[in-house]
Amino acid sequence: MGIEGEVLAGLKDRFGEPSFRSLAIVRDRVVKIVIDRKDLVAVCTFLKSKFDMAHLSSIAAVDWRDHFESVYHLTSWSRNFMVQINAWIPHDDPHIDSVVPLWNGANVHEREAYDLMGIIYDGHPNLTRILLPKDFEFFPLRKDFPQEVDRQYVSRRKIGGG
C-alpha cells in the first residue's frame, strides 16, 4: 500500500467514512478529500500530527453558486505527498474556521480568500482586505459580480450565467 492508501485508510479509521463527501486518489502521491466545514480543523489537525503535513501551499475559494468551497493544498515534505481538502460552506452563511493556529502561512491566504470571495475565516487574527482597497464594497470573484464583457468575445453561456 502506497502513501495514498495509507492516508485514506487513516482518515477513514479516525473519522469514519460517512463524515467525508468523497475520498479519492487524484494521481501519484496526491489525495483529494471533500468534507463539510465543521470537520475542517479536526481533519487538518489529524493530518498534520499523523502525516507531518508541515506546509500549506495555498487556500483557494470557489463559488459554486449553491455553495462555496474553501480548497486547501497541503504538503508533507518528509513523506513527499499532497492532500487537497475541499471544505463545503453554505452560500447564505459563508463562515469557516481558520487554520492559522495550525499553519502560520495560512494568514495571508485566508485574507486573500476573504478579500476576493468574501468567506469569513472565524478565529483569524486580522481578517482585513489585502489586495483591494479597504473601502471596497464587493467580493469580485463571486459569480454574481459581473465582468465587463462587451469589448470581447465571450461565450453565450458565460453571459447568461453572469
Q: Footprint of other proteins on this chain (CB under 8 A)?
A: 27, 29, 57-58, 60, 62-63, 71, 73, 77, 80, 82, 84, 105, 107-109, 112, 116, 129-133, 140-141, 145, 147, 149, 152, 154-155, 157-158
Q: Closest approach of Cβ 28 to other proteins, in Å?
A: 9
* Sheet with 67-76: strands ordered across: 20-27, 30-36, 81-90, 67-76, 55-63
Which three cell numbers, joined as nine digits, stand for 81? 505527498
Nearer to other proteins, 12 or 73 (CB): 73
Q: Closest approach of Cβ 20 to other proteins, in Å?
A: 17
Q: Give the span between the Cα atoms of 83 and 19, in whole angstroms.
A: 17
Nearer to other proteins, 39 or 112 (CB): 112
* Cβ neighbour number for residue 152 with a 10 Å cutoff: 7
Q: Closest approach of Cβ 29 to other proteins, in Å?
A: 7
Distance of CA 34 to the CA centre of its chain: 10
